[in-house]
Chains A and B, each alone.
Chain A
Amino acid sequence: MTDLTGSVDPAAPPGPAAGDLPEAAVRRLQSDAFSSGLTVPDFAACLDLGLEPVALVQGFCVMQWGWYGPGSGYMRGMSPYAVASGSGGGYSETYRCPHGFVSAEHRTWGQNLEQPWVEAAWTQGYSSAYARMIEEATDMGAHGVIGVVDRVGTLADTGNTEFHFLGTAVRVDGGPPPAGGVPWSTYLAGQRLTKSIEAGFMPVAVVASLASVRVWAYCMTEYLMEGQMGMGWGGYASSGPQLVDQVSKAHMAARQLARKHVREQLVGDELHGATIDVATRELSAGDEVIDCTLRGNRVRRFKDFDPIPAPRPTVRLG
């Protein structure tokens, strides 16, 4: 599994090298004219910063979710008991039934479970696509990639997931070759990038992570999610609105885990301009899977922060 830095041998001569890039990419990148995804104002702002666009670069990867592979554990209908042991030490929280009642229908045991295998697969797809984009940039001798656009989506009807990265590779005028031979990258471009640099923040990389939490509902969650309050089981009285503790905690955990994974990739740097996307998939009453993606720019402060003077408020007349 390639890591997010997509390391490349810095000693190799510049120019498209045989990696796992398609042949058309190699041909395109050999051309002399530059291409860029920048709008005109962004282009002007980049030249201002001394950034010279080199080429439009992209990376792509399609992943299939191996639900039934060995050790995957994500099989519908399979008892959570077996899954718990193979969870790989991620987040998990158990819930036990408060009623003293045992039956085939009554789910006495429930669990919120992080699914590291799903997260690993997603990370693999994401970082492969990212690494390919960086590879294209490195082959061009670029120092960084700006204006990155990343898209994760399902491919038509196949149910496979595609990861697509697009960005503009640039060279810093008079700048050093990229650290470790790996170009830096950022979602920003144009004036926003200028403001970030002026404020003293240097982009390092685009970072993202997925946290996937599975909710195996126990009896209380199931009843509450089906609106069955006041069942009269063992003195359970309904007075006032009932919080569904298990599902609420699972949602919180998904977001907190995504943040935690990203923080591990930051290594002391800061994350700016983060976006959180949450997708929920309901499987049956109370059972659901919560996928939370957190993406943002990893930046490093390279000079002391000069606060800008208080901006002046205006009213437009036209």
Chain B
Amino acid sequence: MPDLRAEMRKGAESLATAAPPSQARGITSDLSVDEALLLHAAGWEPLDLVCGVAVVSVPVGVWNWGRGAISLASDAHNAAVDQAARALRAECGKVHGHGVVGVRVDVEVRTHHIEVALVGTAVQPADGNDPRGRDAAEAMPFVSDLSARDFTLLLRAGWMPVGLAFGACFVYSPRRTAGTAMKQSTQNIELTNYTEAMYSARESAMEKMQESALEAGGEGVVEVKVTEGPMSFARHAVGFTAWGTAVKLVAEQHQFVQPQMILPLDDAVVTFEAQSLRGAGKKR
């Protein structure tokens, strides 16, 4: 058990000496203390805060009511993410990082442009040994929106992130003729053309995501997040996106983590918590 008080005093005393000569590049990292410790324990270290931003134009008239998929908007969105990831990797390469973890993805879809901003911490293995192999590492730094903590968990299990998997698809909501609408108004019936349109769009987005995972050389995608919703400026147009981290098994086989079951004795409440029975939100 380290003597915390002695450590604190030692730290305070160290400030009296001058700062180390700035050969040290002064790393900047947005990892929390826990994440930094876990990363070091896994044999990796943070290098620098890096970013990649891309703004792509969306032509006028794209959002006017039409039929089927809005391919111009989908292409623009996918291109924006692609380009931003490219810029991010370039910054990572400049500091000789092997990849970027904890990437925060901010997307803004506006009437005439789509903006994607990625920010994360570039990392490298402390001893230079990248499980993917030296050449792979230099050729393509990985980009992942996994936290540093999740990254170290995966490493332990023998997996590594290889890239950000992303897919977007925009679609116009379909129309019914007035006659059909009237006929259907009293029936309980599935609206097949709507179903078809929304379903297709979702599947398209996920397919694109899968393709980008395969391009990055991944064997699988974890933490897939699906977003969907109408555009605030054009409510008849609906956008679907699917993104996650592409991963690859780099060890001989999957290493089991063998977790231990624990029972925290933290309950302050004596009564049974019936909230869960009432469907008060599922924790994931």
| A63 at the binding interface (Cβ < 8 Å) | no
| A312 at the binding interface (Cβ < 8 Å) | yes
Residue of A nearest to B51 (CB): A255
Counting chain A CB atoms within 10 Å of each CB, the highest count among B5, B22, B42, B153 belongs to B5
Beyond A247-B55, A262-B28, A313-B153, whether A176 also contacts B16 by CB under 8 A is: yes
| A195 at the binding interface (Cβ < 8 Å) | yes
Which single member of B8, B38, B57, B156 contacts A49 (CB below 8 Å)?
Answer: B8
Chain B facing A: main interface SS: mixed
User: A49–B33 contact, CB under 8 A?
Assistant: no
Minimum CB–CB distance from B191 to chain A (whole Å) comes to 32
| A70 at the binding interface (Cβ < 8 Å) | no
| B36 at the binding interface (Cβ < 8 Å) | yes
Minimum CB–CB distance from B169 to chain A (whole Å) comes to 14
B38 partner residues in chain A, CB cutoff 8 A:
311
User: A244–B113 contact, CB under 8 A?
Assistant: yes
| B160 at the binding interface (Cβ < 8 Å) | no
Interface residue range, chain B: 35 or more
| A26 at the binding interface (Cβ < 8 Å) | no
Q: Which of A257-280 contact B (CB under 8 A)?
A: 259, 262-263, 266-276, 278
Beyond A252-B51, A269-B19, whether A317 also contacts B33 by CB under 8 A is: no
Minimum CB–CB distance from A143 to chain B (whole Å) comes to 6
Minimum CB–CB distance from A302 to chain B (whole Å) comes to 4
In the bound complex, what is the Cα–Cα distance between A199 and B41 (angstroms)?
A: 11
In the bound complex, what is the Cα–Cα distance between A296 and B78 (angstroms)?
A: 32
B52 partner residues in chain A, CB cutoff 8 A:
252
Contact with A along B261-276 (1 / 0, CB 8 A): 1111011000000000
In the bound complex, what is the Cα–Cα distance between A278 and B116 (angstroms)?
A: 13
In the bound complex, what is the Cα–Cα distance between A317 and B262 (angstroms)?
A: 6
Residue of B nearest to A292 (CB): B51
Beyond A241-B57, A251-B117, whether A178 also contacts B9 by CB under 8 A is: no
User: B19–A268 contact, CB under 8 A?
Assistant: yes
Beyond A173-B5, A229-B57, whether A268 also contacts B12 by CB under 8 A is: no
Contact with B along A229-250 (1 / 0, CB 8 A): 1100000001011111001100
User: A300–B41 contact, CB under 8 A?
Assistant: no
User: B9–A174 contact, CB under 8 A?
Assistant: yes
Residue of B nearest to A50 (CB): B5
User: A310–B156 contact, CB under 8 A?
Assistant: yes
A76 partner residues in chain B, CB cutoff 8 A:
none
B2 partner residues in chain A, CB cutoff 8 A:
198
Minimum CB–CB distance from B31 to chain A (whole Å) comes to 7
User: B5–A227 contact, CB under 8 A?
Assistant: no
Minimum CB–CB distance from B160 to chain A (whole Å) comes to 17
A300 partner residues in chain B, CB cutoff 8 A:
14-15, 19-20
User: B26–A269 contact, CB under 8 A?
Assistant: yes
| A281 at the binding interface (Cβ < 8 Å) | no
B55 partner residues in chain A, CB cutoff 8 A:
243-244, 247-248, 251
Among B79-87, B137-145, B215-223, the stretch in contact with A: B79-87
In the bound complex, what is the Cα–Cα distance between A194 and B119 (angstroms)?
A: 27
| B175 at the binding interface (Cβ < 8 Å) | no
User: A244–B263 contact, CB under 8 A?
Assistant: no
| B277 at the binding interface (Cβ < 8 Å) | no
| B69 at the binding interface (Cβ < 8 Å) | no
| A224 at the binding interface (Cβ < 8 Å) | yes
User: A307–B40 contact, CB under 8 A?
Assistant: yes
Among B58-66, B204-212, B224-232, B238-246, the stretch in contact with A: B58-66
Residue of B nearest to A144 (CB): B12
In the bound complex, what is the Cα–Cα distance between A230 and B60 (angstroms)?
A: 10
Which single member of A179, A259, A263, A272 contacts B36 (CB below 8 Å)?
Answer: A272
In the bound complex, what is the Cα–Cα distance between A201 and B54 (angstroms)?
A: 36
Contact with A along B1-26 (1 / 0, CB 8 A): 01011011111111110011111111
Residue of A nearest to B157 (CB): A313
| A225 at the binding interface (Cβ < 8 Å) | yes
Minimum CB–CB distance from A225 to chain B (whole Å) comes to 6
In the bound complex, what is the Cα–Cα distance between A303 and B11 (angstroms)?
A: 8
User: B41–A241 contact, CB under 8 A?
Assistant: no
Contact with B along A99-137 (1 / 0, CB 8 A): 000000000000000000000000000000000000000
B54 partner residues in chain A, CB cutoff 8 A:
243, 248
In the bound complex, what is the Cα–Cα distance between A271 and B37 (angstroms)?
A: 15
A238 partner residues in chain B, CB cutoff 8 A:
59
| B30 at the binding interface (Cβ < 8 Å) | yes
Known: A195-B34, A227-B59; 9 extra A-B contacts, CB below 8 A, are: A174-B5, A244-B113, A248-B54, A248-B87, A256-B51, A269-B26, A302-B11, A313-B258, A314-B262
Task: List 6 A-B pairs, minimum CB-CB distance, nearest first.
Answer: A202-B11, A268-B22, A50-B5, A302-B14, A227-B112, A251-B53
Query: Which B residues are within 8 Å of any A CB, using their own CB?
Result: 2, 4-5, 7-16, 19-34, 36-38, 40-42, 48-49, 51-62, 72, 75-76, 78-80, 83, 87, 111-113, 115, 117, 119, 153, 156, 257-264, 266-267
